[in-house]
Amino acid sequence: MAAYSIRLYGDPVLKQRAAAIDNIDGNIKALADAMLDSMYEVHGLGLAAPQVGVQKRLFVYDLYDDTGPKTIINPTISEAQGEWTFDEGCLSIPGLYFPITRAKEVLLTGYDLDGNEIAIEADEILARAFQHELDHLDGTLLLEHLDADQRKAALRELRQRSAV
C-alpha cells in the first residue's frame, strides 16, 4: 500500500474520536505499513491513523534504535506519573513547536499486529510520543494543550503561513 498524505491542522478528521479496532486483519496490517512509510517520508517519530484520514485506534512509532518500528492497536494509558515540559511538534502542524507539559512516565497497554496484548513502560520522549498519539486518537490537537495567549499566537502563525 502506498504512503498516505498527512492531514494538516484544520482538517475535521483530526477532531474526531477514532473507533476501536475489533479485528486485526490484512487491511489493518497494510494500513500500519503505509503509515510507517508516511511517517518515514517526513522523518516523524510517531503517527496516528486519524493523521492519515483513517478513524481507527491505531498508531505507529519508531525510536530509530535497535527496537525497530512498532504498531499499537487500541492503546490506553493506565498509569501516568511525574511532569515534564518540553517543546513538542506535530506532523499535522509542521514546523511549529510548543512547550507542552505531559506525564514523564506512563504505562501504555494495547495490542500488537499479531493480536497479542502488550504493556510498555515508557518515560520522557517515548512517554510523550504515546500521550501525543493517544490525543490524536481522541480528537485532541496539540494546540488544545496551550494556554489562551499561546493558542492565539500559534493560530496567528498558522494563518500567516497559509496566506503565503
- As annotated, the active-site residues are 133
Cell, residue 134:
493517544
CA atoms within 13 A on the CB side of 130: 27
> Among 116, 112, 115, which residue's Cα sits nearest to residue 70?
112
Helix (H) or strand (E) holding 146: none
- Give the Cα separation of 114 and 77 in Å (integer): 20
Residue type present at position 145? H
Task: Report CA 99 to chain centroid distance, whole Å.
Answer: 17
